[in-house]
Amino acid sequence: MAQALSNEKRRRLAGGTVENRSSGLAGLIEETLPKAIIRDTTIVEQHIREGQFQRSLALVTGFSSLLGGLEVAYEHYRGSYSQRIMYTPVVLSGLLALVGIWGAFNRRVARRLLPVVSGVMGLDAVVGFIFHVRGIARKPGGWRIPVFNLIMGPPVLAPLLLAISGFLGMVTAFLRQEEDLGLDRQTTQSYGSSNAKPNSSRLTPWGVSHEALTLEQDIREGYFQRGMALAAALSALCSGFEALYSHYKNNYKYKIQWTPIVLTPLLFAAGIGTIWSRKIAHTLLPIISVLAILNGAVGAFFHLRGILRRPGGAKHPIYNILYGAPILAPLLFAASGFMGLLASLLRRRD
């Protein structure tokens, strides 16, 4: 009897009973990892499910923006920064990286400044997409010979990949910090009354109307699995399309270059399927997402190896990074897998 009570107490401290936890990835973790790691993993999973990971996601936003900014910096260097607007994603990526890391240590920055910078980053990504489409149209033959101009022209969907950081920054603004334990019930009770708003309304991002408070509350409590899964699916589609014609330039010299092409439709289908199916969210989505993360890491290794194998290798790092394989591009595909894995751990309202 005492042992049963002890087990029940441990489950509650870990964040709830077994029935309240996701059955897919959590069950696999419990069967393979030591108890100490299981306990820490369960706490992390519970924080994600409850929407209490603002600090962690702010750091992820900052570092993802930094990686994206470095990628676009040398891609635009190849284009000689022929237009001044080519500087904007570089500046905004650096700014979002700073604000994201700052927001991990300052709640007010995460709630007020981060969504503003993230929104501007998202807008800049859309503008960049329009300019890239225009750049392809202005090449000889334009869209009448789309395959050639898509391959040899500016990467048409690359600007939209920068919107990943902006999206994560917007989500971060509505989350609670990891130490905000116990506030979810109090907030939900106060929000349930007709005239009450969430306790943290003083720190609600600027411009949020009364009609948007329901969405804010859902994000704060981790009920946005469908939205995150949709974002992961669209991000994977953009990243996979970029890998498709980027590897085509190399004539698919290595068989491993086909792996992101194969994983892209799988991750896209799993993300879209999660919108309607809880079972897919807890089984197929985390498996494909983990494979995408691993594939992105392996791709970064092969891109690095390709740069070192170029004439001069490490003796001419700047030149070979600029004109070799895009070393950070595979990590953007891994970011899609990260969002898919994150979506599998979140909750949803039926």
Q: What is the pLDDT of residues 127-171, one digit of tens each?
A: 999 999 999 999 998 889 888 888 888 888 889 988 999 999 999
Quote the pLDDT of residue 74: 86
- Tens digit of pLDDT for each residue in 194-244? 344 444 444 555 555 544 567 777 787 778 899 999 999 999 999 999 999
Integer angstrom CA distances of residue 328 from 6, 67, 75, 78, 182: 48, 7, 11, 15, 40
Residue 1 lies in a domain: no
C-alpha closest to that of 66 among 170, 164, 158: 164
Q: Indicate the number of domains in the chain.
A: 2
Residues 344 and 284 in one domain: yes
Of 42-56, 186-200, 218-232, 285-299, the one with minimum mean pLDDT is: 186-200
Query: Of 221, 247, 274, which residue sits at a domain end?
Result: 221
Output the six-digit token pair for 350: 């039926």
Please report how the helices 35-49 and 25-32 are oriented relative to each other, as an axis angle in degrees rounded to 10.
160
Q: Residues 6 or more apart from 109 whose CB is under 8 A from it?
A: 99, 102, 103
Distance CA(293)–CA(337), nearest Å, equals 5
Range of the domain at 322: 26-50+224-350
Q: Name which residue leads in pLDDT, 220 or 184.
A: 220
Tell me what the mean pLDDT of segment 238-251 comes to: 89
| Mean pLDDT for all residues in the chain | 82
Rounded to an integer, the average pLDDT of 36-43 is 68
Residues 193 and 314 in one domain: no
Checking if the pLDDT of 297 tops 90, the result is yes
3-state secondary structure of 198: coil
Q: First vs last Cα of the chain: how many Å apart?
A: 36
Instruction: Give yes or no: residues 116 and 175 share one domain.
Output: yes
Q: Are residues 122 and 173 in the same domain?
A: yes
Q: What is the pLDDT of residue 34?
A: 66
Q: Indicate whether 79 and 228 sit together in one domain.
A: no
pLDDT of 190 strictly over 60: no
Closest CA to 157 of 26, 329, 337: 329
Which of 102-116, 175-189, 245-259 has the least mean pLDDT?
175-189
Q: Structure pTM? A: 0.78
Long-range contacts of 308-312 (CB under 8 A, 24+ apart): none
